[in-house]
């Protein structure tokens, strides 16, 4: 009795686990917690009964027998498809007939709009052939898109028919064509209307008689191939007419519109289940999101519907792993704008919609275990790696201390992110160490070719990322992983020239490594060549900061303090103990310089002696810009590190850090501080588009008190074409941005509140405070205007605020907002007083100043310099002394 | 009522003093309103009924609260928003409310 149960349990396990590799007795025993001997004997029993199969070789692997029993025509792929897709009934019957037609099936043409699933359908026809033609498991299925080589007939025909060595320049070996590869199986020709005129006759002959020749060859070859072709074009066009005469079977696939809501509903469910399965997570979809997905206009049909659902899932996944959501949830408000707009038409469809959705709970929940991978054969986007990349990206960002960032999910942005990310890592890794030299050479060839064709420079960054991409590509191919590009058709249409170049590059890779690559790869490579246009900012390379001092541990302790204060691991240290030779330190410094960015350069902060000469040596030998700051202190290191991480240039950092050191101020910074006098702005941003940003705006207007003359709420559309960061960067200079409402931290300098905190009113108090402060400064300007003898109030307030901002940055501390207001008013009065040549009523003893920390005094002086310049004043020691009092004794928060 | 204001060097507050005096006049109040620097507060404490501190010297608040308590008068920091806007009327109200 007991034994029967166990054997059933094992049989069940095998049926469920049925993977291609099968399973060993050992694995099964571990999984089920049974002794290996028992499992082993049961397995043999099952095998004897014919319930399972086993493989040759050691260890013996057991397989389920299910696939075989399935081929007993219990349920074919088409039966599964028809279930829930009634409108495909005729098409399916036709397809079955075309496949079953003896001996090798009937040539077929599939018609239908973009994205109705022609390729998938062809793939299913192949599956059906495998399922029904017993004993013939290896029926080849070769796909080819005629558009890929439409401009190069020779290349296209060579691909199709094969090439004899020497047929044309470059044909340096015999090559078999796709027709030969498809012998005994199916050749799927997509976009067949793009078949060039030169090839048509040859191809028709082949279709009629099964005879063909390789290019440059005289002898005839034969192949038994069932040709399934597909097109989006009108079958009345000239080519298709002749083509159709040779094709007995024409199958028309209905568009998504023609298939009705019920079927669309089934498709949506299917796609969510597949995503849930890929992610191994439950997905919750709100009823409204379902409604929107059901009715939004979807001109690219099922393909688009599927991609849109995948993007929605990817977005939800991003929210989930950045802890913004407890589980994978998709709400209508987070869908792309054009999907949401579908809801506007909801009224027209109310009746059928409610029939489908009305009875359900507010949420549709998809479980990972319910999956049926019906559309497996379709060139599915490589979602798992997209998810992996999101995961990696987020992890990466977290490690760099960024809590969240925009995860732009369309491919262009994804790629520019990808490349940016790569380059961050690249600063630290020596390229040649991790890449094969062949790849480096190959990439150089590819870039040279692209530059020549495109007549433009391809940046070094692209160089690096391309090299790494190729490396990853080769690994994927080696591991037999699929390469699929969901956006292939869009990319091809949008970037014709670059796509052509990418095709050539794919060929270079194929030749160099003797491998076959799918056309999809060209779609990816295209992205690398268009990238320079997409990328606006170049600031990603950062200056390396290196501290070197004599003695044990002096440099490292400064660096440690700095890194801890700034909560980073950025500055580096080299100690030179007295017993050690300076050459030793130089060697280490060169090692660090080798990893530094050639473009950004390196800043060396040293104490004295020979260490100060290292900069010159390294600059010459390593060909990298280096600046040296002598007499280093912790303050220098902090300033340098902070500026370096903000992406300042070497020259800027050098200049600013030297200000910390001395009175020698030669280049006063008189940056206009105008933006602070402008209207205050609160930005509301939303990943899903302007709609929700607008809703947040209304919400804020309702809950906040503010003077519309002084403050404005501006909704922001993140999804827009223009690079978000660029726009923010520009605005920051021009406008007085108080804070931002966004689910992502777009900019670390701008205080950001999460949408959630606004909705539950938690953030309102703090935002109100910011508004009040902004208004206070504005009024301060007005009041001063009527009081000041010399300067304009508004302008002075803005300048003083800017100065205080600089001061806080330079001293790496935060002055509380309350005190800042007081300080600002005080300094405005001070400037006016000094301009009028009045002395302070109450003088603080001047000698106190010399008692103070000279570093701090210098720093404060440096910050005040622009103010002195602009208003033509000299800030007296008494005045300075007060500021010092405040800065030293005041309750400031170091940051 | 005599209101003593304290700020760093005594000057920024003088603007506020002017505004407060205006407000006091409108209310028909009499008394002295004047500003001194932190170093001089002690000398003037005896004359004052209320001591108010500018927000920029709020680090001295605890210290002066003690001193004021010893002198038997209330002491507080000026509301920074009112201070920033140089809102004499509001600061005057604040002073009045402290002196019950």
Q: Is the pLDDT of residue A70 over 50?
A: no
CATH number at A712 reads 3.40.50
State the complex-level ipTM. Answer: 0.86
Say yes or no: A206 and A335 in one domain: no
Six-digit token pair at B3? 């209101």
Is B7 marked active-site?
yes
CA A72 to chain CA centroid, Å, is 46
Domain span at A199: 77-252
Q: How confident is the model at residue A416 (pLDDT cuts 50, 70, 90)?
A: very low
Could you say which of B10, B56, B83 has the minimum Cβ distance to residue A886? B56
**Average pLDDT over chain A, rounded to an integer:** 75
Say yes or no: A747 and A816 in one domain: no
- DSSP structure class, residue A215: B
Say yes or no: A139 and A241 in one domain: yes
Q: Is the pLDDT of residue A857 over 80?
A: no
Contact criterion met (CB below 8 Å) for A171 and A125? no
Question: Could you give the 3-state DSSP secondary structure of residue A818?
Answer: helix
**Any A CB within 8 A of B37 CB:** yes
**Closest CA of chain A from B3, distance in Å:** 19
Domain residue spans of chain B:
3-98
CATH number at A576 reads 3.40.50.510
- DSSP structure class, residue B78: P
CA nearest neighbour of A574 among A566, A561, A584: A584
Q: How confident is the model at residue B8 (pLDDT cuts 50, 70, 90)?
A: low
**Any A CB within 8 A of B83 CB:** yes
**Any B CB within 8 A of A817 CB:** yes
User: Pairing mode, if any, of strands A62-64 and A225-231?
Assistant: unpaired
Q: What stretches of A228-295 show up as alpha helix (H) in DSSP? A: 238-245, 256-279, 287-295
Question: Do the domain assignments include residue A690?
Answer: yes
Stronger pLDDT, A142 or A494, i.e. the higher one:
A142
Question: Do the domain assignments include residue A774?
Answer: no
Q: What is the pLDDT of residues A71-91, one digit of tens each?
A: 444 578 888 888 878 888 889
Q: What is the pLDDT of residues A101-145, one digit of tens each?
A: 877 788 999 998 888 889 989 999 998 888 887 666 688 999 998
Residue in B5, B6, B7, B73 annotated catalytic? B7
Nearest-angstrom CA–CA distance, A408 and A77 = 36
Contacts of A789 in chain B (CB under 8 A): none
Stronger pLDDT, A65 or A836, i.e. the higher one:
A836
Say yes or no: A586 and A602 in one domain: yes
For the CA atoms of A65, A67, A73, A79, what is the dihedral angle to 10 degrees? Answer: 140
pLDDT of residue A409: 32
Backbone angles phi, psi at A682, to 5 degrees: -110, 125
Could you say which of A819, A821, A841 has the minimum Cβ distance to residue B10? A841
Backbone angles phi, psi at A63, to 5 degrees: -125, 160
Question: Do the domain assignments include residue A403?
Answer: no
Could you say which of A773, A844, A891 has the minimum Cβ distance to residue B59? A891
Domain count, chain A: 7
Contacts of B77 in chain A (CB under 8 A): 818
Six-digit token pair at B79? 């509301």
Stronger pLDDT, A254 or A675, i.e. the higher one:
A254
Question: Do the domain assignments include residue A609?
Answer: yes
pLDDT of residue A666: 35
Q: How confident is the model at residue A383 (pLDDT cuts 50, 70, 90)?
A: very low
Query: ∠ CA A756-A762-A768 to the nearest 5 degrees?
Result: 115
Q: Is the pLDDT of residue A289 over 80?
A: yes
- The stretch A199-209 carries a mean pLDDT of 83
Query: ∠ CA A301-A302-A304 to the nearest 5 degrees?
Result: 70
Instruction: Give the CATH number of domain B3-98.
Output: 3.40.50.2300
Say yes or no: A12 and A82 in one domain: no
Inter-chain residue contact A841 with B12, CB threshold 8 Å: no
pLDDT of residue A895: 36
Domain boundary among the residues A396, A424, A447 is at A396
CATH number at A235 reads 3.40.50.300
Nearest-angstrom CA–CA distance, A470 and A478 = 12
Question: Do the domain assignments include residue A402?
Answer: no
Nearest-angstrom CA–CA distance, A613 and B43 = 58
Question: Do the domain assignments include residue A773?
Answer: no
**Any A CB within 8 A of B88 CB:** no
Nearest-angstrom CA–CA distance, A424 and A412 = 19
Say yes or no: A206 and A299 in one domain: no
Quote the percentage of chain A above a pLDDT of 90: 5
**Closest CA of chain B from A828, distance in Å:** 8
**Any A CB within 8 A of B56 CB:** yes
Contact criterion met (CB below 8 Å) for A313 and A328? yes
Inter-chain residue contact B10 with A823, CB threshold 8 Å: no
Stronger pLDDT, A213 or A562, i.e. the higher one:
A213
Say yes or no: A643 and A674 in one domain: no
Region of A43 on the Ramachandran plot (φ > 0 left; ψ -120 to 50 alpha; else beta) = alpha
Helix then strand then coil, in percent of chain B rounded to 5, is 60, 15, 25
Contact criterion met (CB below 8 Å) for A631 and A661? yes
Domain boundary among the residues A198, A226, A252 is at A252
Say yes or no: A443 and A587 in one domain: no
CA A40 to chain CA centroid, Å, is 48
Say yes or no: A177 and A29 in one domain: no
- DSSP structure class, residue A602: E
Question: Do the domain assignments include residue A53?
Answer: yes
Say yes or no: A94 and A241 in one domain: yes
CA A308 to chain CA centroid, Å, is 16
List the single best residue of B4, B8, B77, B78 to mutate versus A (max A Cβ within 10 A): B8
Say yes or no: A85 and A226 in one domain: yes
* Residue A535: C-alpha distances to residues A108, A407, A465, A644, A825 (Å): 45, 16, 14, 21, 43
**Closest CA of chain B from A889, distance in Å:** 7
Stronger pLDDT, A750 or A625, i.e. the higher one:
A625
List the single best residue of B80, B87, B89, B91 to mutate versus A (max A Cβ within 10 A): B80
CA atoms lying within 13 Å on the CB side of residue B2: 10
Contacts of A889 in chain B (CB under 8 A): 59
CA nearest neighbour of B74 among B42, B99, B91, B94: B99
**Any B CB within 8 A of A776 CB:** yes
Q: What is the pLDDT of residues A440-470, one digit of tens each?
A: 788 888 888 888 887 777 666 677 667 767 8
Q: How confident is the model at residue A253 (pLDDT cuts 50, 70, 90)?
A: very high
Say yes or no: A129 and A232 in one domain: yes
CATH number at A40 reads 1.10.10.10
Nearest-angstrom CA–CA distance, B28 and B100 = 18
Read off the pTM. Answer: 0.38
**Any A CB within 8 A of B92 CB:** no
Contacts of B19 in chain A (CB under 8 A): 783
- The stretch A237-250 carries a mean pLDDT of 75
**Any B CB within 8 A of A333 CB:** no
List the single best residue of B5, B6, B11, B89 to mutate versus A (max A Cβ within 10 A): B11
pLDDT of residue A746: 67
């Amino acid at each position: 009795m007991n034994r029967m149960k166990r054997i059933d349990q094992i049989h069940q396990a095998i049926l469920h686990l049925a993977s291609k590799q099968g399973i060993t007795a050992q694995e099964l025993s571990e999984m089920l917690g049974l002794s290996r001997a028992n499992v082993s004997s049961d397995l043999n029993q099952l095998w004897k009964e014919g319930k399972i199969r086993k493989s040759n070789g050691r260890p013996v692997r057991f397989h389920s027998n299910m696939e075989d029993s399935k081929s007993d025509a219990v349920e074919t792929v088409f039966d599964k498809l028809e279930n829930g897709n009634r409108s495909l009934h005729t098409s399916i019957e036709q397809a079955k007939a075309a496949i079953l037609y003896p001996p090798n099936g009937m040539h077929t043409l599939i018609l239908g709009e973009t994205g109705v699933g022609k390729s998938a359908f062809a793939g299913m026809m192949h599956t059906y052939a495998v399922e029904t033609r017993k004993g013939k498991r290896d029926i080849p299925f070769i796909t080819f898109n005629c558009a890929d080589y439409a401009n190069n007939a020779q290349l296209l025909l060579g691909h199709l028919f094969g090439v004899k060595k020497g047929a044309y320049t470059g044909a340096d070996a015999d090559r078999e064509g796709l027709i030969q590869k498809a012998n005994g199986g199916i050749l799927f020709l997509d976009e067949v209307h793009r078949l060039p005129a030169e090839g048509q006759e040859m191809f028709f002959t082949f279709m009629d008689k099964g005879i063909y020749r390789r290019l440059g060859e005289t002898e005839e070859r034969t192949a038994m191939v069932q040709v399934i072709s597909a097109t989006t074009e009108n079958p009345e066009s000239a080519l298709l007419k002749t083509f159709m005469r040779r094709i007995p079977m024409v199958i028309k696939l209905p568009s998504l519109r023609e298939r009705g809501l019920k079927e669309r509903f089934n498709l949506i469910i299917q796609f969510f289940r597949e995503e849930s399965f890929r992610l191994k997570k439950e997905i919750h979809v709100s009823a409204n999101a379902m409604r929107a997905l059901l009715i939004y206009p979807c001109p690219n049909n099922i393909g688009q519907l599927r991609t849109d659902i995948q993007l929605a899932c990817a977005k939800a996944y991003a929210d989930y792993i950045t802890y913004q959501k407890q589980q994978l949830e998709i709400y209508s408000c987070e869908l792309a704008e054009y999907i949401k707009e579908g809801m506007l038409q909801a009224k027209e469809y109310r009746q059928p919609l409610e029939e489908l959705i009305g009875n359900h709970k507010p949420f549709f929940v998809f479980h990972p275990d319910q999956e049926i991978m019906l559309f497996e054969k379709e060139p599915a986007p490589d979602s798992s790696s997209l998810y992996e990349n999101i995961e990696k990206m987020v992890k990466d960002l977290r490690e760099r201390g960024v809590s969240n960032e925009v995860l732009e999910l369309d491919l262009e942005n994804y790629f520019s992110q990808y490349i940016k990310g790569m380059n961050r890592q690249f600063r630290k890794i020596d390229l040649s160490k991790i890449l094969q030299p062949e790849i480096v050479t190959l990439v150089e060839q590819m870039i040279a070719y692209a530059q020549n064709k495109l007549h433009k420079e391809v940046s070094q960054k692209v160089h690096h990322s391309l090299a790494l991409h190729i490396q990853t590509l080769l690994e994927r191919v080696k591991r037999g992983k699929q390469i699929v590009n969901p956006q292939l058709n869009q990319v091809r249409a949008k970037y014709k020239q670059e796509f052509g170049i990418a095709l050539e590059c794919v060929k270079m890779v194929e030749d160099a490594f003797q491998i076959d690559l799918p056309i999809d790869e060209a779609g990816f490579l295209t992205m690398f060549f268009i990238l320079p246009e997409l990328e606006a900012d170049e600031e990603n390379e950062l200056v390396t900061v290196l501290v070197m001092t004599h003695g044990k541990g002096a440099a490292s302790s400064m660096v440690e303090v700095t890194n801890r204060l700034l909560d980073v691991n950025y500055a580096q240290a080299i100690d030179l103990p007295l017993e050690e030779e300076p050459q030793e330190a130089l060697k280490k410094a060169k090692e660090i310089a080798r990893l530094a960015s050639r473009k950004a350069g390196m800043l060396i902060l040293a104490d004295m002696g020979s260490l100060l000469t290292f900069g010159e040596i390294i600059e010459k030998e390593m060909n990298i810009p280096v600046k040296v700051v002598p007499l280093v202190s912790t303050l220098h290191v902090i300033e340098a590190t902070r500026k370096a991480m903000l992406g300042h240039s070497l020259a800027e950092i050098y200049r600013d850090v030297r200000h910390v050191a001395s009175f020698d101020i030669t280049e006063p910074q008189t940056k206009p501080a105008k933006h602070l006098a402008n209207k205050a702005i609160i930005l509301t941003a939303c990943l899903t588009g302007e709609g929700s940003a607008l809703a947040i705006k209304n919400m804020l207007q309702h809950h906040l008190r503010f003077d519309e003359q002084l403050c404005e709420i501006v909704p922001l559309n993140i999804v827009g074409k223009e690079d978000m960061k660029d726009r923010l960067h520009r605005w920051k200079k021009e406008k007085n941005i108080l804070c931002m409402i966004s689910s992502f931290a777009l900019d670390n300098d701008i205080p950001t509140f999460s949408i959630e905190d606004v909705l539950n009113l938690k953030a309102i108090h703090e935002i109100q405070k910011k508004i009040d402060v902004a208004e206070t400064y504005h009024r301060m300007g007005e009041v001063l205007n009527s009081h000041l003898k010399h300067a304009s109030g508004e302008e002075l307030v803005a300048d003083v605020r800017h100065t205080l901002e600089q001061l806080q940055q330079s001293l790496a501390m935060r002055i509380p907002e309350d005190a800042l207001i007081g300080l600002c008013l005080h300094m405005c009065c001070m400037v006016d007083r000094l301009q009028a040549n009045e002395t302070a009523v109450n003088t603080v003893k001047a000698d106190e100043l010399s008692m103070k920390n000279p570093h701090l005094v210098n720093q404060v002086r440096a910050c005040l310099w622009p103010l002195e310049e602009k208003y033509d004043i000299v800030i007296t020691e008494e005045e300075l002394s007060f500021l010092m009092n405040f800065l030293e004794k005041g309750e400031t928060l170091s940051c | 009522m005599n209101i003593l204001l304290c700020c760093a060097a005594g000057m920024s507050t003088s603007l506020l003093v002017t505004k407060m005096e205006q407000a006091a006049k409108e209310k028909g109040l009499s008394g002295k309103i004047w500003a001194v620097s932190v170093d001089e507060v002690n000398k003037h404490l005896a004359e004052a009924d209320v001591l108010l501190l500018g927000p920029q010297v709020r680090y001295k608040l605890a210290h002066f609260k003690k001193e004021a308590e010893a002198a038997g008068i209330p002491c507080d920091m000026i509301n920074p928003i009112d201070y920033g806007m140089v809102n004499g009327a509001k600061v005057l109200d604040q002073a009045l409310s402290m002196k019950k």
